[in-house]
A and B are shown apart, each in its own frame.
With several copies, the nearest count.
Chain A
Amino acid sequence: MFSKVLIANRGEIALRIVCACRELGIRTSVAHSQPDGDSLAVRLADEAVCIGPASSEQSYLNVAAIVTAAAMVGADAVHPGYGFLSESAVLADACQAAGVVFIGPPPHVLRLLGDKARARRVMQAAGLPVVPGTDSFDTPEEGTRLAETLGFPLLIKATAGGGGRGLRVARTARDLEHSLGAARREAAAAFGDPRLYLERYVDEPRHIEFQILADETRALHLGDRECTLQRRHQKLLEEAPAVGLSEETRHRLGGLVVKAALAVGYRNAGTFEFLVDRGGAPFFIEANARIQVEHPVTEMVTGVDLVKEQIRVAAGEGVSFQQTDVRVTGHAIECRVNAEQAETGRPSPGVIRAFVAPGGPGVRVDTYAHAGCMVWPHYDALVAKVVAHGRDRGEAIARMRRALDMFVIEGIETTMPLHRRVLREPDFLAGRFTTSFLERFIT
């Protein structure tokens, strides 16, 4: 097992990784930006190293600084968390070159999954149902030609995109013509790669995903999650298991993702995302080669500590259980408490004056916040994840309601008022929703 892990991230996930390392008896060093120097993760880790100024580009996205920091503190592994460099083949390569273990999939898998169009093709070959779509293309003319074979409505996506960024819907050829140029420029600016591809647009889908874990010899799946409640493609509330999935589809997809993971030589934790259309047909859209923000809902229903498993796998110890040990018990819900005005999503950074997190049965809170802490404007708005587990979905919802009602955060605005409203909405309670639910609900 490792003796020291460098945590190349911030906020709640940095603290989450500190938890996992402590439980495994591993020392932690947090690589942090200057304003994060007094963050809870830094204070609670064994040590810390400042790798750059506030700007993410010069700190959390700075491969050279992270690898140098790992060497400097004598870490034998780097945990990249989610976001930032978590899916960066460049960081994985640099770690390898420096003789430090990157806690995540190998570089070739990161490269494959980072190219969304290629990943779609490979996963289709590995047996996953995919949305009909095109290969990557470089020019708007190619795009127009490929669209003819695909039909409308369709989705314009950046080959190097992800996390819902850079998506455009084209309902007609005219829409497409209008959007291709701008999408290309955006992709070049956001991802350093102007290439695009097209996908059949699935109307009013649900968004579900499967959690997998793979080591040198095996791949296992840990069930599914419902991630349909999104605003501007950002998830706000997740559940496990997924609400709108037939047992037959669940079982079939579970088997297929394991096969696909083995086919591409996957290692470590990962997520396979699907859209499910109104008829219940699932379509693979992408695979995320990292721990997800919403991993706690899976941990609550399975009792598995996914971050500890990530570390074990990276250390060559293998997943600590068998597929047959995986049992999904009850239902879990996560609400992402962001420092945002609830209705508009406008960021609300600032000092948290009062902070009292809910406790009691079946409630888990992952957060870096505390009374007197600062929510910086430089980074993403996630302040806390509240997770409620119950014997069934009804109990989980009742528990989440009371947890949110008892969660005191003063000094900044948060998404909690929106969550409270959603948790009383009859369509949500009945499980009747698609990815457009939240946006229609807000307006």
Chain B
Amino acid sequence: MDFDEIGQILELMRRHGIVEFELERDGERVRILKPDGSAAAPGGTLAPPVEAGRGEPDLVVVDAPILGTFYRASAPDAAPFVSVGDVVSAGDVLGIIEAMKLMNDVTSEFGGEVVEVCVESGQPVQYGERLFTLRRQPGA
């Protein structure tokens, strides 16, 4: 069994929608399991849900607290509240969301370093949409 073979198995599994595969070479044993279709997933049109910063437990995500238009700065000609690399404290304003002429601050629950700004200024955002990824500071 080498990686080529494993790759071929994985490809076959993908193509046939197999969820479990067992092999035992010379005593010649094989076992193949298809999904049972239990979770009837109707064909969706919606984009897949936003993923959190998987794998890295010190990455945290700041989501939109309401829907509206997201701005990175307080005015078109002002500097952004934060940019990648900035270090922020809990409670700092990271951006604003405008809904029905009202400006709503987006604040951080945590202190940390901004590692990603996920939405451009002036873009509409849904409730719960990911706006920033922060790397939590040790002890913050």
**Could you tell me which A residues sit within 8 Å of B by CB distance?**
34, 37-38, 40, 42-53, 59, 64-65, 67-69, 72, 94, 349-356, 370-375, 377, 408, 410-411
Contacts and interface: CB of A to CB of B under 8 A. Distances in A.
A53 B45 contact: no
A355 B39 CA distance: 10
Interface in B33-66: 34-46, 49, 66
B62 to A, nearest CB: 15
Interface of B: 14-17, 19, 34-46, 49, 66-69, 99-100, 102, 124, 126-129
B40 A371 contact: yes
Contacts of B129: 50
Contacts of B100: 64, 67-68, 94
Given A72-B124, A350-B17, A351-B35, A49 B42 contact: no
Contacts of A372: 35-41
A52 B43 CA distance: 24
Given A42-B46, A68-B99, A371-B37, A51 B19 contact: no
22 contacts: A44-B42, A50-B128, A51-B67, A51-B126, A68-B68, A349-B15, A350-B14, A351-B17, A351-B19, A352-B37, A353-B37, A353-B39, A353-B40, A354-B40, A354-B41, A354-B42, A356-B42, A372-B36, A372-B37, A373-B37, A377-B16, A411-B37
Contact of B17 (A42, A349, A354, A408): A349
Nearest to A376: B17
Contacts of B17: 349-351, 374-375
A408 B66 contact: no
B42 A408 contact: yes
Given A37-B46, A49-B67, A65-B66, 17 more contacts: A42-B46, A43-B42, A43-B44, A45-B45, A50-B126, A51-B67, A51-B127, A52-B66, A53-B127, A53-B128, A72-B124, A353-B39, A353-B41, A373-B37, A374-B34, A375-B17, A411-B37
Nearest to B45: A43
A332 B16 CA distance: 36
Instruction: Please indicate which of the listed interface residues B14, B35, B46 has the most CB atoms of chain A within 10 Å of its own CB.
Output: B46
What is the predominant secondary structure among interface residues of chain A facing chain B? mixed
Contacts of A351: 17, 19, 35, 37
A386 to B, nearest CB: 16
A374 B35 contact: yes
A261 B44 CA distance: 41
Contacts of B69: 72
Contacts of B46: 37-38, 42-43, 47-48
Contacts of A46: 45
Given A44-B45, A50-B129, A38 B37 contact: yes
B127 A354 contact: no
A65 B44 contact: no
Q: Which 5 A-B pairs have the closest CB atoms?
A: A372-B40, A353-B37, A43-B44, A408-B42, A372-B39
B97 to A, nearest CB: 9
Contacts of A59: 127
B67 A354 contact: no
A373 B15 contact: no
A64 B97 CA distance: 13
A366 B6 CA distance: 39
Nearest to B34: A374
A48 B39 CA distance: 22
Given A49-B67, A372-B37, A410 B44 contact: no
Instruction: Please indicate which of the listed interface residues A53, A65, A377 has the most CB atoms of chain B within 10 Å of its own CB.
Output: A65
A72 B68 CA distance: 8
Contact of B67 (A43, A68, A349, A408): A68
A408 B43 CA distance: 6
A152 to B, nearest CB: 43
A374 B37 contact: yes
Contacts of A50: 67, 126-129
A420 B40 CA distance: 23
A356 B34 CA distance: 21
Contacts of A377: 15-16
Contacts of B44: 38, 42-43
A425 B59 CA distance: 52
A157 to B, nearest CB: 34
Contacts of B68: 68, 72
